[in-house]
Structure 1
Amino acid sequence: MGLPKFTRPKGGHEELSSNLYVANCGPAVGLTLDSIESAFSLYGTVKGVYPADESGCRVIVSYDDESSAQTALKALDRKTCSDLGGRSLHIRYSVQRPLSQVVPTDSVQVSLEASEMNIPGVYLIHDFISAQEEEQLLAAVDARPWHNLAKRRVQHYGYEFCYNIRNVDTQQRLGELPSFVACVLDKVPVFQKLDEAADVSLDQLTVNEYPSGVGLSPHIDTHSAFEGSIYSLSLSGPCIMEFRRYSNTNACFGDRDAESCDNSSNCIRKAIYLPPRSMLLLSGEGRYAWQHYIPHHKIDMVKDTIIRRGSRRVSFTFRKVRKGPCQCDYPQFCDSPR
């Protein structure tokens, strides 16, 4: 959902504004946004009521004019409001931030479709699974133990991915992929209509849970670890995935975790919006030669709309473990000896 962004209230009521920051008020204390709008509409035309943060107990009430906001503040601040369950409200003025202060300065134009990026081998299908299937998948992984990393939680199936070596131990098989992902695997062959070479015989799954604001460092999945098709299913929350291709191989491998990338001839940046229930395929050039990266943001700008990330995003990444050396057409990005 695209929402305006407001500055934190600053002491006192001396700075008039048409926007009010209202504490002890919101869904977490049993008040709907519609009921709040109705109560504050007694003092003027309300443009909108927005969550002030993720707590659910503070909102922004935005009026058409400053005089209406001033009237509401004088009438309701630190007084019980019978129209809102007799709650005592705490109100201050708040000022909407300009977009230049809201949107991350390192953002890049974001595509909604993979075809807009024009990266060979990258495909995206929206609504790949249903909302009911999404709920079932989340319930299934939440019923199983998570492994804690520094900023996110993971689960591995089929084979465990070892982050210290960026590879898998093919001698340590965990078993078959779990039965609860059958609804996903049954639909994967549809990608062969987009890419005839897409591999659909998958034997490794990594489930990642990203809290709000947590992303993924730039990287290319190790060539020697996995075959050419990598599928990533996004659940619960949206995110932006950025792709980077360096003309200087050292920039890609010597500093592969660096999050700095300029728009010079050394680095090309493109990005795509991944909504919940969408499935992304990385194959060919997009898999072997482009880094992919999830910026560490809580909000993103998508086609002039501010998108706020959810409290969590869960990704299901399906791959096929490679049993021999990689023979790709991108040796400058490949770790397999030729």
Structure 2
Amino acid sequence: MGLPRFGRPIDGKSSPNLYVANCGPAVGLSFNTIATVFSTFGEVIGVYAADESGTRVIVSYVEESSAQAALKALNKRPCPDLAGRFLHIQYSIVQPPKQVLTNDSIPVSLAAKDLNIPGLYLWPEFITSAEEEELLASVDDMPWKTLAKRRVQHYGYEFIYETRNVNTSQHMGELPSFVSHILERIMKISDFDDAANIVLDQLTVNEYPSGVGLSPHIDTHSAFDGLIFSLSLAGPCIMEFRRYTDGAWLQKPDLDADSKEENSDCGSNFVRRAIYLPPRSMLLFSGEARYAWHHYIPHHKVDLVKDNVIKRGSRRVSFTLRKVREGPCKCEFPQYCDSQS
């Protein structure tokens, strides 16, 4: 979905479009709220993100006179209907089409069932805000291992990035007590019976600074069993899923975000889906979603979700809980399985 691109008029003349600073989703003002306030001066065509900050928008009117009236009434003064924000407004013009902010034309879903990926589940608000703060405080009291672009902690077994596997002969002990209530809650998930039968014994905590993502990959089949849980904390993000045509994924390196940037998209070689992961949500990979779909976090500081600009937080922390596999994988997807190919 491409958004109009705007710039400042060269000759300083007025136009039906206004650039409005100190106003946008990042300061708690939705596009709908902004449009409602500015529509008191005339018919509004739309409200758009002016850039990736989430604090500057473009308000586009049908009539130039409406923009003139709004600028005269609202510029350089607080607006009670917009949380008292002190607005800075100037005229703007439409420039040649260019994608200003997109998710590469992928519609972003809010529910896992809308993606039509068998085995993928999402539970929003899996934990409370208080529990989220306690989990973050617990890991911040523990030592971090610094990678090129993010920090990690491993419990139970260390994940070896060079081999994308674990050394099962080096057990680091039981999972920390601060995730005990998370494990108990997983066992009580009513809409996924197998959750009660799994004993998760490996935890990786990842801290992603704003703008840092993860390149497309499938967790190594031989390393972990069929259920992988990922709890999102502190900040939101978009996660993309890719199902490559047979053999196409072999043409593309399975890169980690800490080594180098992802290669350009393969276009017709894969099917793409995307979902919004809010803080405190739990995502489960199982079956086809776990074994056959690459997952990926785009390297963005701002995401577009249902026409709303979502600014990522200063950090996002994920808790990935897994069961280390004993013996080879015997899944139904041998083309993606290191145990069978």
Shorter-chain-normalised TM-score: which range? 0.7 to 0.9
Please, which of 262, 275, 281 is the counterpart of residue 267 of structure 2? 262
Distance 2:28 2:241 in 1: 40
Aligned to 1:175: 173
Structure 2 portions without partners, runs of 5+: 81-85, 256-262
Secondary structure of the residue that 1:181 maps to in structure 2? helix
Secondary structure of the residue that 1:287 maps to in structure 2? helix
Distance 1:73 1:284, change over 3 A: closer
CA positional deviation for 1:150: 2.2
Letter of the aligned partner of 2:110 in structure 1? L
Letter of the aligned partner of 2:131 in structure 1? E
Aligned to 2:239: 241
Secondary structure of the residue that 1:127 maps to in structure 2? coil
Distance 1:135 1:5 in 2: 39
Distance 1:317 1:92 in 2: 47
* RMSD between aligned residues: 4.1
**Matched-pair contact (CA < 8 Å) for 2:109–2:275:** yes
Deviations 1:249-293 (Å, cap 9, x if unpaired)?
Answer: 352475334451324xx4222222222211111111111111111
Distance 1:284 1:54, change over 3 A: closer
Secondary structure of the residue that 1:175 maps to in structure 2? coil
CA positional deviation for 1:237: 2.0
CA positional deviation for 1:131: 1.5
Aligned to 1:291: 294
Aligned to 1:202: 200
Aligned to 2:310: 308
Larger mean Cα displacement after TM superposition, 175-184 or 103-112: 103-112
CA positional deviation for 1:182: 2.0
Aligned to 2:143: 145
Distance 1:82 1:183, change over 3 A: closer
Please, which of 172, 187, 199 is the counterpart of residue 185 of structure 2? 187
Please give the TM-score of this superposition, normalised by the length of structure 2. Answer: 0.74
**Matched-pair contact (CA < 8 Å) for 1:241–1:292:** yes
Distance 1:162 1:171 in 2: 13
Letter of the aligned partner of 1:332 in structure 2? Q
Secondary structure of the residue that 1:170 maps to in structure 2? coil
Larger mean Cα displacement after TM superposition, 267-276 or 123-132: 267-276
Distance 2:177 2:94 in 1: 48
1:118 correspondence with 2:123: no
**Matched-pair contact (CA < 8 Å) for 2:52–2:101:** no
**Matched-pair contact (CA < 8 Å) for 1:147–1:153:** yes
CA positional deviation for 1:198: 6.7
Distance 2:115 2:339 in 1: 28
Aligned to 2:259: none
What percent identity do the matched residue pairs reach?
A: 54
Distance 2:131 2:48 in 1: 30
Deviations 1:88-127 (Å, cap 9, x if unpaired)?
Answer: 9976444689996234362322222222222221111111
1:335 correspondence with 2:334: no
Distance 1:20 1:331, change over 3 A: closer
Distance 2:293 2:79 in 1: 56
Distance 1:175 1:332, change over 3 A: same
Distance 1:138 1:97 in 2: 44
Aligned to 2:229: 231
Distance 1:76 1:195, change over 3 A: closer
Deviations 1:225-255 (Å, cap 9, x if unpaired)?
Answer: 1111100111122222221112323524753
Structure 1 portions without partners, runs of 5+: none
Larger mean Cα displacement after TM superposition, 141-150 or 95-104: 95-104
Deviations 1:277-329 (Å, cap 9, x if unpaired)?
Answer: 11111111111111111122333333x32231322222111111123222222
Distance 1:133 1:96 in 2: 46
CA positional deviation for 1:220: 0.5
Distance 1:5 1:298 in 2: 20
Please, which of 272, 280, 286 is the counterpart of residue 277 of structure 1? 280
Distance 1:96 1:198 in 2: 56
Distance 1:177 1:83 in 2: 51
CA positional deviation for 1:332: 1.5
Distance 1:181 1:123 in 2: 20
